[in-house]
Amino acid sequence: MQKVFITGSEGFIGSHLTEKLVRSGYEVTALVQYNSFGQEGWLKNLSQEVLNETNILFGDVRDGEFIRKQTKGFHKIYHLAALISIPYSYNSSKSYIETNLMGTYNILEAARTNNIPNTIITSTSEVYGTARYTPINEEHPLQGQSPYSASKIGADKLAESYNLSFDLPITIVRPFNTYGPRQSPRAIIPTIILQLLNGKEVIELGDLSPTRDMVYVKDTAEGFKVISEEAKCVGETVNIATGQEISIGEIAKALINKINPAAKIKQDQKRMRPSKSEVRRLLGCNKKLEFLTDWVPSISFDQGIKETIDWYTDEKNRNHFGQRDFYL
């Protein structure tokens, strides 16, 4: 049984990946950012069967000595821990450098010191910025259009340097826009769903024209697993994308049609990104993923949003989301 170490396990994608790997027979240690409440994030949402097989560890990727000690003897590290909110990165850029760049440095140093056979570094499609060409493949120029994307570009390049300089076996996984159960209410799809479920007739959104390549979270988790198990992916950067794009306005209309067809959309200037920072178009190329692994995402957007709506409806009925979540 392979022993794997996951950072950011309590988060949106991390909790799904933790569940996927446990059910696939891995021995999983799930790192959760230490907090005084002992809260385990979205790991609490997993079945007791999965939790019984998960070793939950509290700590912080910014503590290099802690990471080095805790990762000894593992076969793989999946590094997902990061600050991800783009709007917050405008106000607190230094914290993104400390967590996203220095946190990745600590993981890479620990992997090098402990001779970890495989380290998976999580990137983001935001590193590409507004597309210069589509579909966006892994050779597309990197553009730091927000402090968040700049911190992730730095982390990617640092990981690349460890592979080239120290022959450290790493893979950079670059998921496009992941959505699904357990996503933060601040993200576009949960924002719309929660406004609709709470009875709002006018849905407040920012710019409706940008397009995104939306990947359902179960596909994203499967992609991480498939990529990490394929030796040909070591030393590579690999997109997880559907190869299809949909605008923010089209996403809103699809959700409105499923929940409350009478609702209308209102653009709110407060929800707009700075104009030069807005990424206008993200349409990913998954040809490299398919070539290396014979796998591509398969869950349709219609199926994905149905499952997502069902999950948020259940959570709201259990009073896990309320009126204030409109403004998150």
> How do residues 189-228 score in pLDDT, each as one tens digit?
999 999 999 999 998 888 888 999 999 999 999 999 999 9
Pick from 54, 40, 38: nearest CA to 11: 40
Distant-in-sequence, close-in-space partners of 103: CB < 8 Å, separation ≥ 6: 7, 61, 62, 79, 81, 82, 155
pLDDT band at residue 24, thresholds of 50, 70 and 90? very high
Q: Taking a C-beta distance cutoff of 8 angstroms, is the pair 67, 59 a contact?
A: yes
Average pLDDT over residues 313-319: 85
Question: What is the reported pTM?
Answer: 0.93
Single-letter residue type at 181: P
Same domain for 154 and 69?
Answer: yes
Look up the domain containing 118 and give its range: 3-178+215-240
Q: Are 231 and 266 found together in one domain?
A: no
Report the CATH number at residue 9. 3.40.50.720
Average pLDDT along the chain:
93
160-177 pLDDT, tens digit per residue, is 999 999 999 999 999 999
Report the CATH number at residue 276.
3.90.25.10
The four Cα atoms 179, 129, 17, 306 give a dihedral, to 10 degrees, of 10
277 pLDDT tier (thresholds 50, 70, 90)? low
Q: What would the two tokens of residue 92 be?
A: 């607190």
- How many structural domains does the chain have? 2
Residue 326's pLDDT is: 33
Q: Is 294 left (phi over 0), alpha (psi -120 to 50) or beta?
A: left
Rounded Cα gap, residues 265 and 262, in angstroms: 10
- Segment 285-299 shows an average pLDDT of 98
Q: Residues 78, 137: one domain?
A: yes
- Give yes or no: residues 270 and 158 share one domain: no
Instruction: Check whether 133 has a pLDDT greater than 60.
Output: yes
How does pLDDT run across 39-57, given as a tens digit for each residue? 999 999 999 999 999 999 9
Can you read off the two tokens belonging to residue 256? Answer: 């409105």
